[in-house]
């Protein structure tokens, strides 16, 4: 699919420089939709000017960070202009005493973590481990997709760690929400509205994020059991122990659960000994634990299969493990918070069965990565009050449908 709308390139070249207003290439397509022009603004002012010009020319715009999650959502109905945030990569501020940082949306997760690791006298990290390559994935892209990993069990999702945001609306208006303090109650938090919006509401230009002290030591206890019921009982037993796990990930069909604790060397050792004594399991050695930790966020994203996101009541953990194990090739369940990711094949029957079963448990399922016909299967009508509310928000912020039309649920 390609677009045929003519673009007056000269105004964009004048705004960002000729070397940053480039004809789109084959690898710039967004789920089969080909833009005509790729624009790389250097700062928020240039983003604003680009959006004003795009609106003036009545062009549709898709925002790209590292490009790691452009396959999420549905294809845009049109895309004349691809706006890259890769040059918005500056660390604006790091306040170690307040445990916050402010960075451009184009800064990669790895670059931010590297800077935090170099800050003398302070061992801090952004406690996010989304299932995307940190060397490529940008902070703005992570916020726009709302993706998180195993560490959400203890530290929350990107939505919880985002305390402020700067953004540009479709007409070029610059806005901001939240602030540079962890607790901010001045008005409605638009940052949380933008989280997971897939770039359909605004161009995120800058984010303020909550940091945490980096623990000196990390230990892992590996539980295993033969049935979902027995494994779920052991997981639920963790909640009654005087321990603070960073992640509790049930992996099926491996029939295991990885319990990770991050603390001082003494504190981590004490906690894993309590876990092993009370609920059993094997305390992993340093090398084995490091290998498991590095792979958990990527499972079940490895390979090219369909990936579904699931949420269900925590009280139905055993049923969720059994249900997902029956229909999925692999599932990882964040055992203490009732969310899961499952890898499936392209056959629609197991996906439909899994969706129906999850709904019977009182939960829901979405497809993060899949061919479009399967997404239509899981979202057959995209009707209801929630979607209509989302549609009204889209119309309020982007009445002309400039930003990524059709990328979100319900063709929003």
Q: Options 3.30.1330.20, 3.40.50.620, 3.30.465.10, 1.10.760.10; which CATH number does 1-214+381-412 get?
A: 3.30.465.10
Considering the entire predicted model, what is its pTM?
Answer: 0.93
Q: How confident is the model over 165-216, as pLDDT tens digits?
A: 999 999 999 999 987 655 444 455 789 999 999 999 999 999 999 999 999 9
Please give the C-alpha separations between residue 252 and each of 202, 300, 324, 398, in angstroms, as whole numbers. Answer: 38, 10, 8, 42
The 10s digit of each residue's pLDDT in 14-42 is 999 999 999 999 999 999 999 999 999 99
Q: How confident is the model at residue 3 (pLDDT cuts 50, 70, 90)?
A: very low
Q: How many CB atoms lie within 10 A of CB 135?
A: 12
What integer is the mean pLDDT of 51-79? 94
pLDDT of amino acid 16: 98
Per-residue pLDDT at 5: 67
The whole-number pLDDT of residue 25 equals: 96
Q: Which helix (H) or strand (E) holds 399?
A: none
Supply the pLDDT for residue 379: 60
Q: CB under 8 Å to 239, separation ≥6 — which residues? A: 336
| Chain position carrying tokens 């290439």 | 25
Distance between CA 221 and CA 345 in Å, rounded? 31
| Residue 267: burial class (beta carbons within 10 Å; 0-12, 13-18, 19+) | middle
pLDDT reported for residue 378: 62
Q: Do the domains spanning 217-295 and 306-375 agree at the CATH topology level?
A: yes
Q: Is the pLDDT of residue 255 over 80?
A: yes
Note whether 333 and 250 are within 8 A (CB): yes
CA dist., res. 219 & res. 200, Å (int):
40
Q: What is the domain class of 217-295 according to CATH?
A: alpha beta
Range scoring the smallest mean pLDDT among 156-170, 293-307, 336-350: 293-307
Residues 6+ apart with CB under 8 A from 311: 338, 339, 340, 363, 364
Q: What is the pLDDT of residue 2?
A: 42
Report, as an integer, the average pLDDT of 300-313. 91
What percent of the chain has a predicted confidence (pLDDT) above 90? 80
Comparison of pLDDT for 388 and 394, the residue scoring more: 394
116-120, 164-168, 385-389 — most confident range: 164-168
pLDDT at position 160 is: 96
Pairwise pLDDT comparison (349 vs 387), residue with the higher score: 349
Pick the CATH number of 306-375 from 3.40.120, 3.40.630, 2.40.50, 3.30.70: 3.30.70
**3-state DSSP of 194-239:** HCCCCCCCCEEEEEEEECEECCCEEEEEEEECCCHHHHHHHHHHHC
Mean per-residue pLDDT for 81-96?
97
Per domain, the residue ranges of the chain are: 1-214+381-412, 217-295, 306-375
Q: For residue 19, count CB atoms less than 10 angstroms from its CB and return exposed for 0-12, middle for 13-18, buried for 19 or more.
A: exposed
pLDDT for 292 beyond 60: yes
Average pLDDT over residues 131-149: 96
**How far is the C-alpha of 37 from the C-alpha of 200, rounded, in Å?**
19
318-332 average pLDDT score? 96
403 or 388: which leads in pLDDT: 403
Name which of 27-36, 92-101, 158-167, 293-302 the model is least confident about: 293-302
Type and span of the H or E element at 293: helix 286-296
Q: What is the model's pLDDT at position 185?
A: 44
Long-range contacts of 40-45 (CB under 8 A, 24+ apart): 40/16, 40/84, 40/86, 40/87, 41/15, 41/16, 41/83, 41/85, 41/87, 41/88, 42/16, 42/87, 42/88, 43/87, 43/88, 44/88, 44/166, 44/168, 44/174, 44/205, 44/206
- pLDDT band (50, 70, 90) for residue 240: very high
305 vs 211, higher pLDDT: 211
pLDDT at residue 1 above 70? no
The yes-or-no verdict on residue 397 having pLDDT over 70 is yes
User: Contact, 235 vs 316, CB < 8 A?
Assistant: no
Mean pLDDT to the nearest integer, 356-371: 91
Q: Are strands 100-104 and 91-95 parallel, antiparallel or unpaired?
A: antiparallel
CB of 153 closer than 8 Å to CB of 239? no
């Amino acid at each position: 699919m390609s677009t045929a709308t003519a673009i007056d390139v000269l105004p964009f070249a004048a705004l960002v420089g000729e070397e940053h207003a480039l004809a789109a290439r084959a690898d710039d397509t967004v789920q089969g939709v080909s833009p005509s022009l790729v624009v790389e603004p250097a700062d928020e002012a240039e983003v604003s000017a680009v959006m004003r010009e795009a609106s003036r020319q009545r062009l549709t715009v898709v925002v790209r960070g590292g490009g790691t999650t452009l396959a999420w959502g549905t294809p845009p109905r049109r895309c004349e202009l691809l706006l890259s945030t890769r040059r918005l990569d500056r660390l604006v501020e790091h306040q170690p005493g307040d445990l916050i940082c402010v960075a451009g949306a184009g800064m990669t997760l790895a670059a931010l973590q590297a800077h935090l690791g170099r800050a003398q006298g302070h061992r801090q990290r952004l406690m996010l481990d989304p299932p995307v390559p940190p060397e490529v994935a940008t902070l703005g892209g992570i916020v726009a997709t709302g993706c998180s990993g195993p560490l959400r069990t203890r530290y929350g999702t990107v939505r919880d760690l985002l305390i402020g945001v700067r953004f540009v609306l479709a007409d070029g208006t610059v806005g901001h929400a939240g602030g540079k303090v962890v607790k901010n109650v001045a008005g409605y938090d638009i940052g949380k509205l933008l989280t997971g919006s897939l770039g359909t509401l605004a161009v995120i230009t800058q984010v303020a994020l909550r940091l945490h002290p980096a623990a000196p030591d990390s230990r892992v206890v590996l539980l295993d059991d033969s049935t979902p019921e027995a494994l779920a009982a052991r997981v639920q037993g963790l909640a009654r122990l005087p321990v603070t796990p960073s992640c509790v990930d049930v992996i099926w069909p491996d029939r295991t659960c990885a319990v990770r604790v991050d603390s001082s060397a003494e504190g981590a050792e004490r906690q894993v000994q309590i876990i092993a004594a009370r609920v059993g399991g094997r305390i992993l050695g340093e090398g084995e634990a490091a290998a498991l930790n590095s792979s958990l966020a990527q499972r079940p994203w490895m390979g090219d299969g369909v990936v579904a996101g699931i949420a269900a009541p925590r009280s139905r953990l055993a049923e969720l493990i059994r249900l997902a194990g029956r229909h999925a090739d692999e599932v990882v369940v964040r055992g203490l918070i009732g969310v899961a990711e499952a890898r499936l094949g392209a056959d629609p029957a197991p996906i439909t069965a899994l969706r129906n079963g999850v709904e019977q448990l009182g939960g829901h399922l979405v497809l993060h990565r899949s061919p479009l016909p399967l997404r239509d299967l899981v979202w057959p009508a995209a009707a209801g009050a929630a979607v209509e509310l989302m549609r009204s928000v889209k119309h309020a912020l982007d009445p002309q449908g400039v930003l990524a039309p059709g990328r979100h649920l319900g063709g929003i």
